[in-house]
Amino acid sequence: MSHTNYHICLLPGDGIGPEITAEAVKVLGALGDRFGVAFTFEEALLGGAAIDATGSPLPEATLTAAHAADAVLLAAIGGPKWDTTDPAKPRPEQGLLGIRKALGLYANLRPVKLFRALEGASSLKPEYLEGVDMLIVRELTGGLYFGARARETGVAGAATGGGEGMRAYDTMEYREFEIERIARTAFEAARKRGGKVHSVDKANVLESSRLWREVVHRLHAAEFADVELLDQLVDNTAMQLIRWPAQFDVVVTENMFGDILSDEASMLTGSLGMLASASLGDGTALYEPSHGSAPDIAGQGVANPLAMLLSVEMMLRYSFDMQDAADALASAIEDVLVEGWRTRDIADADTLPQKMVGTVAMGDLVTERLGAVKQ
Ligand code: NAD
């Protein structure tokens, strides 16, 4: 895409959502000035805010705005106000799952990058973290979470002691096209990064993994021979992520494997307020921080906007192909951290003195470092 105008659908959602969204808009304004691009915004309702205003967590107008945009930037949804166990009542999460489904977002990308200035926040020793910079590409709409499942009663031999009892099953199922498109996402991402893909499966046991491996290798040979491809069994990956995380560039894997591994990997960096994500499909992509709506600190001006700004960085990279702008934003964030500026959640008692700031001031610091020098 080489536009001079990008239209972004903003979904501020609930809790700290509106506060961190304002910082994203501010930063995009500075990036637009510097790189000669106009960003336009349309705000729409999602989650609890949408329930309050319309009775639905995902109003039709929001879907229309999302489909019409070049990208969707979502902050977070949910909060105690809308918690309910009544299945007849709308819940904010229905809005989140609904929009992912409506946009056909089959690839979830989560970068795991260590900011040197924050290494004290990790549970691993600094020497194990040297060079950690990976991208987990998780298949999001197939596999074990979407295959046939059932619970049956009255099954002979199922009860303790051998009588009739219950049996339950879930199915891990993949079609060739589903594997091929997620593998393509991973190879294309690797070309823009370190040029290496680890394809993670359980091919020594599972038939779906053997098909996975076959399709990944076929696509690799046909179109991506310039990218290094390595196979790894998922149990080994779980261990390698802690033993030597710097070996990974892009990791591509099945839905449930990716769910588990991305949570494990995210903790290498040690802070929820620093984790971004992108969900890609064939149409409009959606970008969001990995954290929730943090109702405990909403409205206090102390939320960390950096995961949201790192989600903006991903949007620039993957939806707008603005690599220079993405690099500029990444280094502005790095600079601010190296200078010692911290929001409360990433303050580290061991590395004082630190300069404590709130949401708006953190956004201002990043914006200032972006400057407005026209390219
Ligand atoms: P959470 O991520 O909102 O908060 C966990 C803890 O981390 C809290 O102490 C919070 O203050 C802190 N925190 C999170 N983001 C922060 C930030 N940017 N800056 C500073 N501190 C931050 O998770 P939770 O408390 O389990 O859930 C709260 C609500 O968010 C729930 O309603 C939940 O359903 C929802 N949720 C939404 C999403 C999403 O929108 N994608 C994801 C997870 C949870």
Query: What is the full per-residue pLDDT of the chain (375 aa) written as tens digits?
Result: 456 899 999 999 999 999 999 999 999 999 999 999 999 999 999 999 999 999 999 999 999 999 999 999 999 999 999 998 887 899 999 999 899 889 999 999 999 988 888 887 777 888 888 899 999 999 999 999 888 999 999 999 999 888 999 999 999 999 999 999 999 999 999 998 999 999 999 999 999 999 999 999 999 999 999 999 999 999 999 999 999 999 999 999 999 999 999 989 988 876 777 889 999 998 999 999 989 999 999 999 999 999 999 999 999 999 999 999 999 999 999 999 999 899 988 887 555 557 899 999 999 999 999 985 544
Q: For residues 72 and 99, is the Cβ–Cβ distance under 8 A?
A: yes
The Å distance, Cα 213 to ligand 1 centre, comes to 36
Question: Is 76 near ligand 1, meaning CB less than 6 Å away?
Answer: yes
Tell me the sheet residues that pair with 151: 168
β-strand pairing of 71-76 with 5-13: parallel
The Å distance, Cα 13 to ligand 1 centre, comes to 12
As a dihedral over the C-alpha atoms of residue 45, residue 100, residue 113, residue 296, rounded to 10 degrees, the angle is 40
Question: Is 176 near ligand 1, meaning CB less than 6 Å away?
Answer: no
Residue ranges of alpha helices (H) inside the chain are 17-35, 48-54, 60-68, 92-102, 126-129, 176-192, 207-223, 234-243, 255-266, 306-318, 323-338, 359-370
pTM: 0.88
Residue of the nearest CA to atom 6 in ligand 1?
294
In whole angstroms, give the CA distance from residue 207 to residue 219: 19
Question: Is 75 near ligand 1, meaning CB less than 6 Å away?
Answer: no
Quote the CATH superfamily of domain 123-269: Isopropylmalate Dehydrogenase (3.40.718.10)
The Å distance, Cα 79 to ligand 1 centre, comes to 9
How confident is the model at residue 70, as a pLDDT? 98
For a mutational test of ligand 1's pocket, the pick from 11, 110, 293, i.e. the residue with the most ligand atoms closer than 8 A to its C-beta, is: 293
How confident is the model at residue 339, as a pLDDT? 92
- Residues 6 or more apart whose CB falls under 8 angstroms from that of 210 comprise 203
User: What are phi and psi for residue 79, nearest 5 degrees?
Assistant: 160, 165
Question: Is 262 near ligand 1, meaning CB less than 6 Å away?
Answer: no
Question: Is 297 near ligand 1, meaning CB less than 6 Å away?
Answer: yes
State both tokens at 90: 């709308």
The Å distance, Cα 94 to ligand 1 centre, comes to 16
- Looking at residue 357, its amino acid is V
Quote the CATH superfamily of domain 1-107+272-375: Isopropylmalate Dehydrogenase (3.40.718.10)
Question: Is 273 near ligand 1, meaning CB less than 6 Å away?
Answer: yes
Work out the number of other CB atoms within 10 angstroms of the CB of residue 168.
10
In whole angstroms, give the CA distance from residue 250 to residue 369: 29
User: What are phi and psi for residue 230, nearest 5 degrees?
Assistant: -130, 140
Work out the number of other CB atoms within 10 angstroms of the CB of residue 324.
12
Q: How many Å from the N-terminal Cα to the C-terminal Cα in the chain?
A: 18
123-269 and 1-107+272-375 share a CATH fold: yes
In the chain, % helix, strand, coil (3-state, to 5) comes to 45, 20, 35
How confident is the model at residue 119, as a pLDDT? 80
How confident is the model at residue 117, as a pLDDT? 82
Question: Is 286 near ligand 1, meaning CB less than 6 Å away?
Answer: no
The Å distance, Cα 3 to ligand 1 centre, comes to 34
Delimit the domains of the chain by residue range.
1-107+272-375, 123-269
Query: Inter-axis angle of helices 17-35 and 323-338, to 10 degrees?
Result: 120
- Residues 6 or more apart whose CB falls under 8 angstroms from that of 273 comprise 289, 291, 303, 304, 306, 307, 343, 345, 346
Residue found under tokens 């030597």: 244
In whole angstroms, give the CA distance from residue 178 to residue 208: 12
Going by the DSSP 8-state scheme, the letter that residue 69 receives in this structure is: S
State both tokens at 357: 């700031």
Q: What is the set of active-site residues?
A: 145, 202, 235, 259, 263
β-strand pairing of 107-113 with 276-280: antiparallel
